[in-house]
Structure 1
Amino acid sequence: MLESVKIARRQSEIRQQLSELVGKPSPTEDETRSMETLDAEYRTNETRYRAALIAEDTERREAGADLETRAGREWEDLVQGFELRQVALALSEGRNLDGRTAEVVEELRSQGGYRGVPVPWAALEVRNTVSSGTPDPISTRPIIDRLFPESVAGRMGAQMISIDAGAVEWPVTTSAVSAGWAATEGGNVAGPTQYTTADRALKPDHNLGVQMRITRKALQQSGAALEAAIRRDMQGAMGAAMDRATFLGTGADGQPLGVITGAATYGITVTEVDALASWAAFRAAVTAFMVANAATGPAAIRALIRPELWDYLDGDLITGTAVSEWDRLTAHIPSGNIAMSSNALAALAGDVLASSALLTTATSGVSPVFVGAWGAVDVIRDPFTDAQSGGLRITALATMDVTVARPVQLRVLTGLETAVSGG
């Protein structure tokens, strides 16, 4: 029993005894002394009661926080023990799932419809093994709020949102509420500014799939080797496709509308540099971020460039010095904030080869890009197509979408020339 409850009960008993004593017109000396003793105990208990409430409030907060996170920790523990090897064997041989793998599959099926075996997104993440070779499944990222560890979208600050079913909208503030001084004594301050929001919708309209052929030899290999191979293949193929769609998705042929391709639709500022790439071009964009109150400085900016642009900037030395344009760039934007990818950005093109770059920043904890993933990865078996060779085909299906939170948190630079002739 809580100490505060015990004290409250004792206070109630004291009040009852005092009410009996004070009702007597002429109490005896013993009754008078008893009233004084009870009164002193009551005052002391009041202090103890307040102290007990303060102490127990901290305990309640800690217990509440534990209850809020316990379900997430229990689910993470289950997913850490998920074995893709069991999924492959269940699809190929009809073997029953067991252990934590069976619990995860049963939970996912209870929340959504799947034609095959549902696989949680976290199961595709890289896991470490101990030197003895015994699997020790340790997830390197949280279950929901991050993309795959090597994802370019994750490095650029995109947030992965797990959605059970239906479309989801994220209201984002778009108004510019400002403060104003009263011009005179007793005068009114600046008039009311309307507070507005824009809804950024994520809809389950885009399905991503990968097909894998598992040969009979692969099926006969050791469990750990097969699981690692399947995980690497699924992660690599789906991660690359998700990255490319996040930035270069066409919005047609089943693809979501990517950030760079849909810059005009999303309202993202596009700056046409059309000159030799340099730190000055990036500096102008960083300055625009700060003027718009979207970033506090260059260190808050993330940049996505092509490897060819890095090659040019690193070799472009300032006259009379050993300092390159790349050195100037990384002196302001940390190198850890710069991602290089030939998959997420279009190839160099033009008479003078030029590329694009994307700059992002997170404002007030709001990610610049949302990537929605519905449910889990649906794994479906096809034992017939490769039946003659004893093989198995597995199709993994995922539903995802991309949207931009606030366009002011992104900027696209085009026409960053590398002074290499395309002819």
Structure 2
Amino acid sequence: MLDSVKIARRQSEIRQTLSGIVGKENPSEDETRQMDELDREYRSNETRYRAALIAEDEERREAGAELETRSESEWSDLVDQFELRQIAFALDEGKALDGATKEVVEELRSAGGYQGIPVPYGALETRAGETVSGTDLPNPKVIRPVVDRLFPNSVAARLGVQSIQIAQGEVGFPVATAGAVFGWQTDELSDVGAASAYTTSETSLSPDQTGGAQMVITRKALKQSGAGLEQAIRRDLNAVIGTEIDRVVVNGSGASGEPLGIVPGAATYGITSTAIGAVADWAAFRAEVVAFMEANAIASASAVNLAFTPAIWSDLDEALISGTAVSEWDRLTRHIANPAISNVIPAASAIMSANVQGIAPGYLGLYGGVDLIRDPYTKAGSGALVLTGLVTADFTVPRGLQTRILTGLAAA
């Protein structure tokens, strides 16, 4: 109990006692002496009470500052301790969840919308050795791009796509399309320019696309040690979900339940696509960098993210500048560090993007966690357990000028 509360209660007791004594017409000597003692104690307590309030106010401020960041850090700590093997045994044998795993599942369930057992995306991070992660793992704060954290080699992450964790509903991204106009007076009495309305356009993420990752856990795997099963589940779910998220961000058709990706949605998102029709070289990419600069999107080539296929990397590395040992790849990486190389990018194509004024070139919305549903019947004959992990996600590009596509980069 706080000292101020204890003192306040004692003051109340003193007042109550004094009121009883003061009401007597002829108090005894003992009662008179008691009034003097209680009066001195009351005055002393007033000083103590003010001092206690000052001390406790400082403690409250420190506690408040801690509470502002505690929820995010506590959540990440719980997710670090999340055990997927508990989920497998709960689905297979009905074993009760406990510890941090139980807390995380209950927290996700409070948002609703799960038929099976919810699993946070952070729990799919591949961990080395221990079932319960150590302090050397990333400790995400507030909203960290989930693509970066779950799938470090993700092409979407390398292109600057930001992932947002959404509990429910839609998330909109208003982007300014017109605003202030600067003008000069033509004479002393004229206006400085015509007024222009500040307008925005909006793109949004909605929970309309749901996909499923299915995996089979054999009876042998279920009977193995916890760490072995833990890593097996992580690897399977991590690989299949990460690969598919990358694919739909770049190549999602926008039909058959898929989000609309960067390449098929270029016209919809207002992304410029340029047909090169020649072997890839630094000059082709440099022209697009210049276009970014002329659109006031970037100030230097190092601000550009770039991704293309292994075949294009081979062409760039093989093409030597006449009379030198310097390749086109060397020229490119001198200006654009660490381009992403992946077969997710369409053949003979490249994607360039930039983060402009804090706005990512694309937003990937991941709704809730992975909804893990048990199917003990499909493989009942072999004693295996079939798990289906449902993932609800959407993708959008808020501003097309932050992305450019090159096509027709012919093979050497």
Q: Same fold (TM over 0.5)?
A: yes
Q: Deviations over 1:33-73 (max 9, x none)?
A: xxxxxxxxxxxxxxxxxxx9xxx99x95x765543322111
Greater Cα offset, 309-318 or 143-152: 143-152
Aligned residue number for residue 33 of structure 2:
none
Query: Shift in Å at residue 176 of structure 1?
Result: 5.4
Aligned residue number for residue 182 of structure 1:
185
Aligned residue number for residue 387 of structure 1:
380
State the aligned residue count. Answer: 351
TM-score (norm 1): 0.79
Query: Shift in Å at residue 186 of structure 1?
Result: 5.0
Aligned residue number for residue 258 of structure 2:
255
Aligned residue number for residue 296 of structure 2:
293
Aligned residue number for residue 4 of structure 1:
none
Aligned residue number for residue 323 of structure 2:
320
Query: Shift in Å at residue 383 of structure 1?
Result: 0.6
Aligned residue number for residue 272 of structure 1:
275
Query: Shift in Å at residue 199 of structure 1?
Result: 1.0
Q: Among 357, 360, 372, which residue is 1:367 paired with?
A: 360
Query: Shift in Å at residue 406 of structure 1?
Result: 0.8
Q: Deviations over 1:95-116 (max 9, x none)?
A: 1000010001011111112111
Q: Give the whole-Å Cα distance in 2 for the aligned partners of 1:193 and 1:296.
A: 27
Letter in 2 for 1:376: G
Tell me whether 1:145 sits opposite 2:144 in the alignment: yes
Alignment of 1:61-140 (within 5 A): 65-129=65-129, 135-137=132-134, 139-140=137-138
Aligned residue number for residue 331 of structure 1:
334
Letter in 2 for 1:142: P
Letter in 1 for 2:236: D
Q: Give the whole-Å Cα distance in 2 for the aligned partners of 1:151 and 1:214.
A: 26
Q: Give the whole-Å Cα distance in 2 for the aligned partners of 1:121 and 1:192.
A: 48
Letter in 1 for 2:109: R
CA contact (8 A) 1:301 1:360 kept: yes
CA separation of 1:224 and 1:269: change in aligned 2, threshold 3 A: same
Q: Deviations over 1:154-179 (max 9, x none)?
A: 11111111111122211122225342
Query: Shift in Å at residue 231 of structure 1?
Result: 0.7
Query: Shift in Å at residue 265 of structure 1?
Result: 1.1
Alignment of 1:21-36 (within 5 A): none
Aligned residue number for residue 46 of structure 2:
none
CA contact (8 A) 2:174 2:202 kept: yes
Q: Give the whole-Å Cα distance in 2 for the aligned partners of 1:182 and 1:339.
A: 50
Query: Shift in Å at residue 224 of structure 1?
Result: 0.9
Letter in 2 for 1:196: T
Aligned residue number for residue 341 of structure 2:
340
Alignment of 1:148-227 (within 5 A): 148=150, 149-175=152-178, 177-227=180-230
Tell me whether 1:404 sits opposite 2:404 in the alignment: no
Q: Among 322, 330, 351, which residue is 1:358 paired with?
A: 351
C-alpha RMSD over aligned residues: 2.1
Aligned residue number for residue 35 of structure 2:
none
Letter in 2 for 1:145: R
Query: Shift in Å at residue 134 of structure 1?
Result: 6.4
Unpaired segments of 5 or more residues in structure 1? 2-51, 349-354
Query: Shift in Å at residue 141 of structure 1?
Result: 6.0
TM-score (norm 2): 0.81
Query: Shift in Å at residue 228 of structure 1?
Result: 1.0
CA contact (8 A) 1:125 1:140 kept: no
SS at match of 2:411: strand
CA separation of 1:176 and 1:339: change in aligned 2, threshold 3 A: farther
SS at match of 2:233: helix
Unpaired segments of 5 or more residues in structure 2? 3-53
